Every structure is written in structure tokens, then in C-alpha cells.
Amino acid sequence: MNEVKLLQRRYLTIAAIIAALFVIAIAGYMIPVEKQDVPARIVMDNTGGRVIFSHQAHAEDYGFDCIDCHHDDIGSDTFLACGTCHPAEFNDDFRVNHQKAFPSDEACLRCHDDVPTAPLAEDERPDIENIPLRAEAFHTQCMGCHEENGGPYGDDSCYQCHAR
């Protein structure tokens, strides 16, 4: 009989611990997280291997301002993701959907002469030869900054940023 009470007490203790952890988990899920001014990390998928960019380290630890990388704030308080202006490729999906990523029509004037109101004829489209694709924009921006500021740079440094 003593063993039964000991087992019951043990199970009761385990059940109490599980219940407490469950309540803590639910509370953690229900309490909204404060929006961070700077995201801690950004994962960039690419053919050279995924890059986990430590956004917070570059902004807070290294002291870079937003405008150092987000070179075109188009007059708003929020900065655009790189892929908004620099797509992986200029395909039909980008041509049809990119305008949804901009906060206002003012952004259109960065690449267009006027705010487009209908699909553009081929001769009215911006010269995409002068707009770097995302990979080229990243390499120009990141490698240039690394070279200037002593970060990983050069032919042997790829896998310091790109996952294998």
C-alpha cells in the first residue's frame, strides 16, 4: 500500500510539473511579442547557399544606419526589403506583382517616368539592364562594404556567409 501512495505522489508531481509547463507555454504563446525595430536575422535563399544575415549585429554591433544598406527609402519611414526593387529575376510574376510591395505610388517614380495605370507596352518599361538583380545587388552592396570595413572578402570567403 505504501508503494501505491508513493507512485500516486510521483505521478501527481509529474502531472503538476507538466500542467505548469503547459500553462507557461500557453501564456508565452498568448502574450504578443514587441515588434523589433531591427529584425535579429534575415534568411536569404539563393543558389550559392542560404545566407543567414545578422541584421541586428550589423545595425547595433557594427553601428551601421539603415540608410547604409537600404539606400533608397523612397521618402517613407519604413525601409523596403531588397527584393522589392531587386528581384531574383525580372519574370512575369515580378512584372505583375511588384507594385503591391511598395507603400505608395511615389515609389513608382524610382524606375518609371510616370505612375503606371495599366500594363506597359514593351517600349515603356524601365531599362532593366540598369537595375541589378538581387544576387548582383547583394554582392555589390555586401562585398563592397566588407572590403571597406574589414569583413569577410575575397574568393576564399564565400562560405563565411553562404551555407554549404
- Which tens digit of pLDDT belongs to each residue from 142-158? 888 888 888 888 878 88
Q: What is the mean pLDDT of the chain?
A: 83
Q: Which DSSP letter does residue 81 get?
A: P
- Give residue 37's pLDDT: 66
- Annotated binding-site ranges: 55, 58, 66, 69-71, 82, 85-86, 108, 111-112
d(CA 131, CA 114): 17
- Give residue 79's pLDDT: 75
- Annotated binding-site ranges for heme c: 55, 58, 66, 69-71, 82, 85-86, 108, 111-112
What percentage of the chain carries pLDDT values higher than 70? 93
- Choose between 71 and 141: higher pLDDT: 141
H or E element, residue 51: strand 51-53
Q: Are 79 and 73 in contact (CB under 8 A)?
A: yes
d(CA 144, CA 125): 29
- Give residue 26's pLDDT: 93
- pTM: predicted TM-score of the whole model, two decimal places: 0.62
Which cell numbers hold the place of 54?
A: 545578422
- Which tens digit of pLDDT belongs to each residue from 78-124? 677 788 888 888 888 888 888 888 888 888 888 888 888 888 888 88
- Give residue 45's pLDDT: 79
Residues whose CB falls within 8 Å of the CB of residue 51, separated by 6 or more in sequence, listed in order:
43, 44, 138, 161, 162, 163
Following CA atoms 30, 32, 33, 36 in sequence, which dihedral angle do they give, to the nearest 10 degrees?
Answer: 160
- Give residue 25's pLDDT: 94
The pLDDT-based confidence of 32 (bands split at 50, 70, 90) is confident
Q: Which amino acid appears at position 111 of this protein?
A: C
- Give residue 115's pLDDT: 87
- Choose between 109 and 37: higher pLDDT: 109
